Chain A
Amino acid sequence: DGGITQSPKYLFRKEGQNVTLSCEQNLNHDAMYWYRQDPGQGLRLIYYSQIVNDFQKGDIAEGYSVSREKKESFPLTVTSAQKNPTAFYLCASSMGQHGNTIYFGEGSWLTVV
């Protein structure tokens, strides 16, 4: 089945540690996105990529990094510089950026311990 796969579903991070969330899609979509969701807040855009080897910062990019070496993959690294990383992270993709449906993965829960 086509879709977006995020892993792991649950992840615990120690203080000062970097962690990487995986996102893979087999929908042949050009655009990929990372969102963060906190209780009572809308989805906030962290990074997005319109094409391989290119990506742009979203609204809350500080403390995060991404790469887009393959069309299917868009991993997100939560660095130690992100002071409040506990949240629900959603990866998504779309055919293009303009007026296209966005397909989401099942999300990853990150907790700082």
Chain B
Amino acid sequence: SQKIEQNSEALNIQEGKTATLTCNYTNYSPAYLQWYRQDPGRGPVFLLLIRENEKEKRKERLKVTFDTTLKQSLFHITASQPADSATYLCAAQGGATNKLIFGTGTLLAVQP
């Protein structure tokens, strides 16, 4: 079955460093990958969308890559800040059903 996998373990980094989160997909070829931020008890907030024919997308301190060979997307936050601490969700869309499938999310904790 179509699956999106993100690291279930929390990622702890020091302020100022670059955080890199991983999203792997199996058993299908999504046309789009999206990344969302979710704070505790709140709804997810859209961050970036990347299409299968795009290798990289940037927005301020955020960068997303899409590697269709590795079946992977990487999400980078440069010069990370404690305010970046949240759960980050990867979502993929495409295939026969065109459904948006979410990963379980990775908790990022940026230490001051």
Q: Which residues of A contact B (CB under 8 A)?
A: 4, 6, 35, 40-45, 58, 88, 90, 92, 97-99, 101-107, 109
Contacts and interface: CB of A to CB of B under 8 A. Distances in A.
Interface in B80-112: 89, 91, 93, 98-105
Interface string B41-62: 1111110010100000000000
Chain B interface residue bracket vs A = 20 to 34
A43 B32 contact: no
B8 interface: yes
A20 to B, nearest CB: 19
Secondary structure class of chain A's binding surface, majority of residues: loop
Given A104-B45, A107-B43, A40 B98 contact: no
B73 interface: no
B45 A97 contact: no
Interface in B11-48: 31-32, 34, 36, 41-46
Given A99-B32, A99-B49, A43 B89 contact: yes
Nearest to A103: B46
B31 A106 contact: no
A42 B104 contact: yes
Contact of A42 (B42, B89, B99): B89
A98 B100 CA distance: 9
Nearest to B48: A101
A43 B90 CA distance: 10
A55 to B, nearest CB: 14
